[in-house]
A and B are shown apart, each in its own frame.
Chain A
Amino acid sequence: MGNMVIEPLGETALLIQFGEKIDEGVNRQVQAAVSLLEASPFPGFVECIPSFAAVAVYYDPFRLDRSPGEGTAFEHVRSLVQNRLKQIGVHAERKRDVIDIPVCYGGEHGPDLAYVAELNGLDEAEVVSIHSGRDYLVYALGFAPGFPYLGGMPASISAPRKGTPRLSIPAGSVGIAGTQTGIYPLDTPGGWQIIGRTPLALFRPGQDPPVLLNSGQYIRFRPIGVSEYDRLAGERG
């Protein structure tokens, strides 16, 4: 379990922290912890939410199965969590699950591609090739429903956020902010530099689970042309 730290997040949740940096090995522990906790929920367990290097565990103190004088609810849940995570180091490494994300780069779908290229002394094709040339781990979903926190974008295509955020960025837009890249699941205002757009829906409230991607998976961006974008977007309806 290494340097696992468990701290309260108020009286209805606790945080299990596995590290302090964005690291694939640390995040694998996070994903493994979620699997172990969900596999054997304790009485009063509500849900758990993974992030880069931590898991938040939510519980209802009134529904815990504990006897009076046993200590605090937090101590009770901490010991349940510790018991469940004893095996965390011994599980087999998960198969690498890579999800294909078709992206139409540049043009009307990626109005900031030229800016990102110019800023980094590259041409547009080089930015596309670098951006789509590696896999990205989905560390966590958050910020908006289905939004993947991705790690590992090469610094050679980084770009600062826009000084004035756009009022509306269409769902599916692929953006860059600093050395982060991400995909907007909903139409929202935002300040990321938009380099392309995927026709896939990341948030799917009619399905359960309601998302395209899951944390712990890898994604690979695949450049597509406008006609394939239109065809895939049309299939979605």
Chain B
Amino acid sequence: MSIEVLKPGLLVTVQDLGRTGYGKYGLGRSGAMDGFAHRVANWLVGNAESEAALEVTWSGFSVRFRQSMLVSITGADLSPESGGTPVPMWRPVWFRQGSELAFKRPVSGCRAYVAVAGGVDSPQVLGSRSTHLRAGIGGLNGRALQAGDVLHNKDSGRFGSPAASSRDFAEHVFFRAARWSAAPRPGYIRGNQAVRVTRGRQYDDFRAADLRRFFEDSYRVKPESDRMGYRLSGPRLELRTPREYLSEGVADGTVQVPADGQPIILMADRQTLGGYPKIAQVVSADLPKVAQLSPGDAIRFREVSLDEAEQLYLARERGLRRLKTMIDVRLEGMFGC
């Protein structure tokens, strides 16, 4: 089964959970920026969470389904439409053969995920299908999707070919959506987010007054933010005593501060090592919030202890497993298997 790209949009890439084990060679993880939305999208079409899906940034992307296909759209609300009708998100949707899906304009959030039953097929490069734009590997030849690209799913997925159900499509009906949804209107996707952080390794090296402002004031997301990092503008952060640090390992969500005093949150396509002082570390549970911020959005930081951050991580994973169980029950009800 195949999908034809009609319009490439701003930036659409193939992403899975990312590439681990190659950091020591200088190759970072990549993978979905909003890992929550990516995993849920896969579960909604009966896939393992490790399958590849499309990460759609902002607007302008459209595709045609050459065969009928089971699809889900999660993450940012980028006004998905088919034949002029809004397509509901966070649920399984059957698209009829020949129907189109277009992302019209961003309503809330920055990145949407499109999963197809069976998973998007592309060659595995070093254990992952994730596109790493800078290294030029993964996904479709290591690049963003272009008009005319044709994507395939690996197989028709757990529930077999949905072609049989296309007989149910009335004329001028392009898709059928399940009545239930996994996560209606998720609260994490909106502007002006408070993002929880633990203290970074060099937290104590910053001036006390600057640390207060880091937490009390808000920052704005700069336009040059991308999959490598979110560049922020706001109160300038300075070291008590200027000094150089040896480059060392960084992590997703590391907040580092270059000499201009404006913080950068490192994201999926980040470098593996960093030499700037680290003021803070975004907790994993809040990385999807950051990934959904658009240029111009405000962001505030709130400190939590390492213990709280660990509890948030464990609670998030337990919550996701409950959500997956609920989705599986619903899917089994629909497909009778």
**B-side contacts of A200, CB under 8 Å:** none
**B-side contacts of A104, CB under 8 Å:** none
| B25 on interface, CB distance cutoff 8 Å | yes
- CB of B27 within 8 A of CB of A12, answer no
Given A15-B249, A52-B248, A143-B273, does the pair A61, B135 have CB atoms closer than 8 Å?
Answer: no
The closest CB in chain A to the CB of B316 belongs to A62
The closest CB in chain A to the CB of B125 belongs to A205
CA distance A61 to B312 in the complex (A): 11
**A-side contacts of B198, CB under 8 Å:** 8, 10-11
Residues of B within 8 A of A (CB): 20-27, 125-126, 134-137, 198, 201, 246-251, 253-254, 271-273, 278, 281-284, 306-307, 309-310, 312-314, 317
- CB of B317 within 8 A of CB of A49, answer no
The closest CB in chain A to the CB of B198 belongs to A10
Apart from the given pairs A11-B306, A52-B246, A185-B26, 19 other A-B contacts in the complex at a CB distance below 8 Å: A9-B281, A10-B198, A10-B309, A11-B198, A11-B313, A13-B249, A46-B20, A51-B247, A51-B249, A52-B247, A52-B248, A54-B248, A61-B310, A62-B313, A142-B272, A143-B26, A146-B27, A186-B135, A211-B26
- CB of A72 within 8 A of CB of B24, answer no
**A-side contacts of B26, CB under 8 Å:** 141-147, 185, 211
The closest CB in chain B to the CB of A146 belongs to B26
**B-side contacts of A141, CB under 8 Å:** 24-26, 272
CA distance A22 to B247 in the complex (A): 10
The closest CB in chain B to the CB of A12 belongs to B284
**B-side contacts of A46, CB under 8 Å:** 20-21
CA distance A140 to B136 in the complex (A): 22
> What are 8 A-B interface contacts by the 8 Å CB criterion?
A15-B248, A47-B22, A58-B23, A72-B310, A149-B247, A210-B25, A211-B25, A211-B26
CA distance A62 to B201 in the complex (A): 23
Query: Which of B136, B201, B247 is A142 in contact with, Cβ under 8 Å?
Result: B247
**B-side contacts of A21, CB under 8 Å:** 246
CA distance A101 to B172 in the complex (A): 64
**A-side contacts of B23, CB under 8 Å:** 47-49, 56, 58
- CB of A10 within 8 A of CB of B22, answer no
Q: How far is the CB of A61 from chain B (nearest CB, A)?
A: 5
| A224 on interface, CB distance cutoff 8 Å | no
**A-side contacts of B282, CB under 8 Å:** 10
Tally A residues with Cβ within 8 Å of B: 50
**B-side contacts of A11, CB under 8 Å:** 198, 281, 283-284, 306, 309-310, 312-313
**B-side contacts of A15, CB under 8 Å:** 201, 248-249
Q: How far is the CB of A67 from chain B (nearest CB, A)?
A: 14
CA distance A26 to B46 in the complex (A): 49
| A55 on interface, CB distance cutoff 8 Å | yes
Q: How far is the CB of A187 from chain B (nearest CB, A)?
A: 9
- CB of B246 within 8 A of CB of A20, answer yes
- CB of B246 within 8 A of CB of A53, answer yes
CA distance A147 to B28 in the complex (A): 12
Given A146-B25, A205-B137, does the pair A51, B248 have CB atoms closer than 8 Å?
Answer: yes
**A-side contacts of B125, CB under 8 Å:** 205
Given A10-B198, A56-B249, A61-B310, does the pair A215, B24 have CB atoms closer than 8 Å?
Answer: yes
Given A143-B271, A210-B22, does the pair A9, B306 have CB atoms closer than 8 Å?
Answer: no
